[in-house]
Structure 1
């Protein structure tokens, strides 16, 4: 049984490194529990001039946004985290990744050795992804700004003193 992939109007190209960075940041909050399959994926949301990736395990929420003009009409799809993981860990040589979204599947076209195109195809996760915008507070009662380097240095110092190490 051979499947023929017809060109889709829902196709875009994105810089591969930018795409990988978005996935890495968003994927951290994806669930590992297969009991709620929709939470094991990453929501890819395309709006005019904006690409967002969202993941949650119902305790944590990760949202990353990038101003990218995909030229696509607004849409939301949930891609299995394992598929995105294989793209992150890959050694593809190209500078861009082509994303083709069909009704129930997504295809990623990447350039491999000898400029040969590699294709990763996956079914999309079905179900209702949580309304993440409702979970993000509109205003904050307290806002704390800290020096990241100093905090990390303190954590490293305290981990050096850990008696269980």
Structure 2
């Protein structure tokens, strides 16, 4: 194997695929990136058997072949070599030589035959949409997945596809986020639960443009094509919570508030809540004013924000982090807060954008 390629192209491709390298594994072979030189291209693959990322770059292939190289080292090394051409050469003695300007490195390789086979999946079941819309869909829900593994199914995001509409749902027992988007195309109705970790890596590969991302599904595997990169992930198996039963249909109180003013006040209140166990912020909604308060042993904060209230006044408390994380992903100027009782969930939606809904459980206020 002998290849000459652009240093920046290689560094970017290595950085993409290295996100799938196994962090902790009893199998050292998974610490490697597989390189395959063929037909004027260099293909790079990394996997931990749950998540696989592949990228392909153009290259001058003088001799075809394949090899393994330690992924962490290769990522750090190529990151420092972006201003010219790089030569990669595998000798007969399985020594991988990297040449860049006046720099040279010789790397011992492992047996490429021991690397797990990455199989292509059937492409008959799929959906597609603009990259920026898929990115927004993921970002609006993925932060609400469960952080612990008590219920592994809640560490994934539910995708439901029907009538060229995709619905994404994530919940952790304290909050729920739901987002809906239109699809460019979909081969069939389907439902799947995608690991949050995989989606977090997918987001890093998506851009803000209108280029298409296509997602293929075969049994318990999902493949996502993003330009030259491909991401493959195993789906989570099991039944997701029936989230539709959780969502209230009617409300006693509806409040419209400027999102930035609300968010800024919550950020200031959080300066104190971070010193408490419950991370609690209290909202007192009366007439045209919402009073926001928080306290710690050494200080207290009280703020007032103008609101438009329809229905009954209410006093309620929440984990301030859950509120601010929901507001950060809303792109509209105003949001609606919908309440029933101080012990009942609150629903947050944006004004003018019906694709997003966030539900949050309150914290019981003593006294």
Structure 1 and Structure 2 fold alike (TM over 0.5): yes
Determine which of 237, 240, 251 is the counterpart of 1:129.
Answer: 240
Change (3 A) 1:8 1:147: same
Q: Is the 8 A contact 1:92 1:110 kept in 2?
A: no
Structure 1 window deviating more from structure 2 (85-94 vs 143-152): it is: 85-94
Aligned match of 2:152? 37
Structure having the higher Rg: 2
Aligned match of 1:55? 170
TM-score by length of 2: 0.40
Question: Is residue 90 of structure 1 aligned with residue 201 of structure 2?
Answer: no
Alpha-carbon offset, residue 56 of structure 1: 0.5
Q: Where in structure 1 do 4 or more consecutive aligned residues deviate above 4 Å?
A: 91-94, 156-164
Q: Which has the higher strand share?
A: 2
* Distance (whole Å) between structure 2 residues aligned to residue 57 and residue 160 of structure 1: 24
TM-score by length of 1: 0.84
* Distance (whole Å) between structure 2 residues aligned to residue 25 and residue 149 of structure 1: 17
* Distance (whole Å) between structure 2 residues aligned to residue 140 and residue 110 of structure 1: 41
* Distance (whole Å) between structure 2 residues aligned to residue 160 and residue 30 of structure 1: 25
Q: Is the 8 A contact 2:128 2:214 kept in 1?
A: yes
Q: Which runs of 5+ in 1 are unaligned?
A: 112-116
Q: How does 1:133-152 map to 2 (within 5 A)?
A: 133-152=244-263
Q: Is the 8 A contact 1:109 1:120 kept in 2?
A: yes
Change (3 A) 1:72 1:91: closer
* Distance (whole Å) between structure 1 residues aligned to residue 193 and residue 247 of structure 2: 19
Alpha-carbon offset, residue 54 of structure 1: 0.3
* Distance (whole Å) between structure 1 residues aligned to residue 202 and residue 137 of structure 2: 12
Aligned match of 1:114? none
What RMSD over aligned residues (CA atoms) do the two structures have, in Å? Answer: 2.5
SS in structure 1 at match of 2:237: coil
Q: Which runs of 5+ in 2 are unaligned?
A: 1-115, 273-294, 300-367
Q: Which has the higher helix share?
A: 1
Q: Is the 8 A contact 1:16 1:97 kept in 2?
A: yes
Alpha-carbon offset, residue 143 of structure 1: 1.0
The one of the two structures with greater contact order (alpha-carbon pairs below 8 A, sep at least 6) is: 1
Aligned match of 1:106? 222
Describe the superposition over 1:66-116 as per-residue Cα deviations: whole angstroms up to 9, x where unpaired. 1224323211100000000001123669822110011011001111xxxxx
Aligned match of 2:188? 73
Q: How does 1:7-18 map to 2 (within 5 A)?
A: 7-18=122-133
Change (3 A) 1:66 1:93: closer
* Distance (whole Å) between structure 2 residues aligned to residue 69 and residue 119 of structure 1: 19
